[in-house]
């Protein structure tokens, strides 16, 4: 719920990370695919253009959202209000996906079996870490990890979290409908879907219409799972997350809400400075 830059500590970190976003994004993608020289040049160029587009068209929308969030901070909020913010952020992410589609289609048609193998190995490595965090540890270990993460997110916005709020976060996790096995199954489905679709694209890279159709279908399945049970589960935990955020916010003190406004205003100012840069 904390909107992109809130995963970073401090104003300077946000500015530095945003200005280096094309490089950071490239390194992230390269860790999965291991680009060849031609792909590397094209991907870097695409990311640079996307960064310019994002700075010019998307940062103003983030600024507007941060201003709206600041206006809500002094009062109690409802779960539906929290979900409105979530829906807004999700829509902004989908807008970025739409913009990146042509570059994604172009890249997919140039991938090689060796690169698909590299992607599969990267998926396997990430899955191992995911299982270690959420499936293979004791119930207490998983609880402690989730609580620590939730408290950290709360403190990034509100500053210090008091004992009552820590207890509330623990209670929220205990009654959560989060099911690690179901989440992991969907994670594996998406990865298998990606690998199979890319393998199909690689078999007929010159068939532009089919490549476009297959890749668009893949993106759609990534946004909305074909598994009806998972879609229902995702809606449940999304609503649960909104309710938990509202419940925690409504326990905050005037000082904590003031801190939240200051944090959000800081990011608003950061984005204004970034939007003004050429």
CB atoms < 10 A from the CB of 209, how many? 7
Confidence bin at 50 (pLDDT 50/70/90) = very high
Interhelix angle for 21-33 vs 11-19, to 10°? 60
* Percent of the chain residues past pLDDT 90, beyond the cut: 82
Question: What pLDDT, in 10s, does the model give residues 123-168?
Answer: 999 999 999 999 998 999 999 999 999 999 999 999 999 999 999 9
What is the pLDDT at residue 3? 39
Residue 5 binned pLDDT confidence (cut-offs 50, 70, 90): very low
pLDDT at 175 over 90: yes
CA 153 vs CA 26, 78, 82, 134, 268: distances in Å: 27, 19, 15, 18, 18
Distance between CA atoms of residues 22 and 14, nearest Å:
14
Q: Name the packing angle between helices 37-57 and 79-108 (round to 10°).
A: 150
Cα separations in angstroms, 58 against 71, 94, 266: 21, 12, 18
Does residue 3 come out as left (phi exceeding 0), alpha (psi in the -120 to 50 range) or beta?
A: left
Q: How far, in Å, CA of 111 to CA of 197, rounded?
A: 12
Mean pLDDT of 67-96: 93
pLDDT at 6 over 50: no
pLDDT at 111 over 90: yes
What is the DSSP track for 19-47?
HTHHHHHHHHHHHHH---HHHHHHHHHHH
Question: What pLDDT score does 11 carry?
Answer: 52
**Chain centroid to CA 158:** 21
Distance CA 241, CA 79 (A): 8
Helices (H) and strands (E) in the chain, counts: 12, 0
State the pLDDT at residue 99: 92
Lowest model confidence (mean pLDDT) among 158-162, 205-209, 232-236? 205-209
| Mean pLDDT across the chain | 91
Query: What is the average per-residue pLDDT within 12-32?
Result: 88
Cα–Cα distance, 116 to 125 (Å, whole number)? 14
Distance CA 121, CA 105 (A): 22
Q: What angle separates helix 79-108 from helix 208-223, to the nearest 10 degrees?
A: 160
Mean pLDDT of 219-236: 95
User: 């104003």: which residue's tokens?
Assistant: 11
- Does residue 1 surpass a pLDDT of 60? no
């Amino acid at each position: 719920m904390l909107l992109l830059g809130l995963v970073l500590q401090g104003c300077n970190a946000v500015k530095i990370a945003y200005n280096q976003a094309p490089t950071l994004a490239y390194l992230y993608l390269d860790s999965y695919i291991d680009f060849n020289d031609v792909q590397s040049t094209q991907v870097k160029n695409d990311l640079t253009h996307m960064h310019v587009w994002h700075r010019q068209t998307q940062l103003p929308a983030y600024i507007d959202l941060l201003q709206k969030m600041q206006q809500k901070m002094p009062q109690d909020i409802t779960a539906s209000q929290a979900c409105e913010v979530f829906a807004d952020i999700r829509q902004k992410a989908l807008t970025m996906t739409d913009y990146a589609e042509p570059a994604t289609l172009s890249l997919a048609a140039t991938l090689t079996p060796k690169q698909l193998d590299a992607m599969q190995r990267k998926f396997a490595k990430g899955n191992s870490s995911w299982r270690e965090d959420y499936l293979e540890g004791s119930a207490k270990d998983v609880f402690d990890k989730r609580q620590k993460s939730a408290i950290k997110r709360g403190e990034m916005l509100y500053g210090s979290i008091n004992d009552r709020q820590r207890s509330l976060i623990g209670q929220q996790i205990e009654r959560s409908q989060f099911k690690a096995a179901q989440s992991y199954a969907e994670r594996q489905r998406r990865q298998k879907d990606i690998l199979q679709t890319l393998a199909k694209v690689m078999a007929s890279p010159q068939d532009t219409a089919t490549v476009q159709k297959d890749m668009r279908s893949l993106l759609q399945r990534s946004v909305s799972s074909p598994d009806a049970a998972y879609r229902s589960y995702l809606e449940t935990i999304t609503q649960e997350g909104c309710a938990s955020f509202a419940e925690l916010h409504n326990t905050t003190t005037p000082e904590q809400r003031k801190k939240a406004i200051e944090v959000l205003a800081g990011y608003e100012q950061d984005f204004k400075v970034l939007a003004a840069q050429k």
